[in-house]
Chains A and B, each alone.
Chain A
């Protein structure tokens, strides 16, 4: 029962994130969230950094080899994307700009990290992987439905288009790992 409640929480969290991605999260009339390229760059870097941070927490708390390997891959891949996004932003003269999406991602990270830090090792492993599945599903939706269509600069758009299959691959890896917990 507890497992069901915990899993439900991750799913609700992911749904809330997706809901925020399609609205500005503040207005009453669900106005679609509009972002400029500087804000999209900020959201992309933050979304990757959040998963790097979850991965670092997993390396610290987990003893399970497959969880640690997954976390290492997340850290390596998302750090690589951050480097490329920052290099591109520098080349384009774009300064990543804070926005409601970036703020929500950071707030979500704080809440999730607090929950994960409070869990014992075995429960942590499952909760971390459940969160990775939900988080990647939410971010894939955001990248495909919001960030790519709204990006004006072609190079930034091309980078986001290339990131999408990476996220889908991560989701597949997370689901495969998740299946081993059943």
Chain B
């Protein structure tokens, strides 16, 4: 009886460890990924904005509603991607090489709160 309980506890620990391992694979700072889409579908609809030489490039893009945008910090200093109007959302600090993803549901004006003259804009296709 005692062995059976121990086996159940051990099995439970193994299951929890397995679930944690499955969910820990992506170290990107993701936000708002569409949950129902397969990975290859998501990647097809992804637009990349590079952060380099103290600028977002391209600074202005047009995307479909629901499209995912990924910002990649390729600069030598940390940056962030932050809502310009009310600072409602932010990527947090992105060190060199780090990325931030966001599903775009509406037009966005954003900036780097660390270097406020760095600005970008996303508009939706009509």
Asked if A pairs with B, the answer is yes
Q: Which residues of A contact B (CB under 8 A)?
A: 73, 76-77, 80-81, 84, 159, 162-163, 165-166, 168-169, 172-173
Q: Which residues of B contact A (CB under 8 A)?
A: 52-55, 75-78, 93, 95-96, 114-115, 117
Given contact pairs A84-B96, A169-B115, A169-B117, A162 touches B53 in the complex (Cβ within 8 A): yes
In the complex, the answer to whether B78 meets A162 with C-beta atoms within 8 Å is: no
- Inter-chain contacts of B96 with A (CB < 8 A): 80, 84
In the complex, the answer to whether A76 meets B114 with C-beta atoms within 8 Å is: yes
Distance of A76 Cα from B95 Cα, bound (Å): 10
- Inter-chain contacts of A159 with B (CB < 8 A): 76
Beyond the given pairs A80-B77, A169-B115, A172-B117, 12 more chain A to chain B contacts, judged by CB atoms under 8 angstroms and listed by A's residue number, are: A76-B78, A76-B114, A77-B78, A80-B76, A80-B96, A84-B76, A159-B76, A163-B76, A166-B75, A166-B77, A169-B54, A173-B117
Label chain B's interface by main secondary structure.
Answer: loop
- Inter-chain contacts of A172 with B (CB < 8 A): 117
Given contact pairs A162-B53, A165-B54, A73 touches B114 in the complex (Cβ within 8 A): yes
Distance of A111 Cα from B96 Cα, bound (Å): 33
In the complex, the answer to whether A81 meets B77 with C-beta atoms within 8 Å is: yes
Distance of A166 Cα from B73 Cα, bound (Å): 14
Label chain A's interface by main secondary structure.
Answer: helix
In the complex, the answer to whether A73 meets B76 with C-beta atoms within 8 Å is: no
Q: How far is the CB of B123 from chain A (nearest CB, A)?
A: 26
From the candidates A80, A165, A173, name the one contacting B53 in the complex (CB within 8 A): A165
- Inter-chain contacts of B95 with A (CB < 8 A): 80
- Inter-chain contacts of A76 with B (CB < 8 A): 77-78, 93, 114
Q: How far is the CB of A146 from chain B (nearest CB, A)?
A: 19
When C-beta atoms are compared, the residue in chain A nearest to B114 turns out to be: A73
Distance of A159 Cα from B76 Cα, bound (Å): 8
Given contact pairs A80-B95, A80-B96, A162-B53, A173 touches B115 in the complex (Cβ within 8 A): yes
Q: How far is the CB of B95 from chain A (nearest CB, A)?
A: 7
Distance of A166 Cα from B52 Cα, bound (Å): 10
Q: Which 3 A-B pairs have the closest CB atoms?
A: A77-B77, A169-B54, A165-B53
Distance of A41 Cα from B114 Cα, bound (Å): 26
Distance of A81 Cα from B76 Cα, bound (Å): 6
27 residue pairs bridging A and B, Cβ less than 8 Å apart: A73-B115, A76-B77, A76-B78, A76-B93, A76-B114, A77-B77, A77-B78, A77-B114, A80-B76, A80-B77, A80-B96, A81-B76, A81-B77, A84-B76, A84-B96, A159-B76, A162-B52, A162-B76, A163-B76, A165-B54, A166-B75, A166-B76, A166-B77, A168-B54, A169-B54, A169-B115, A173-B117
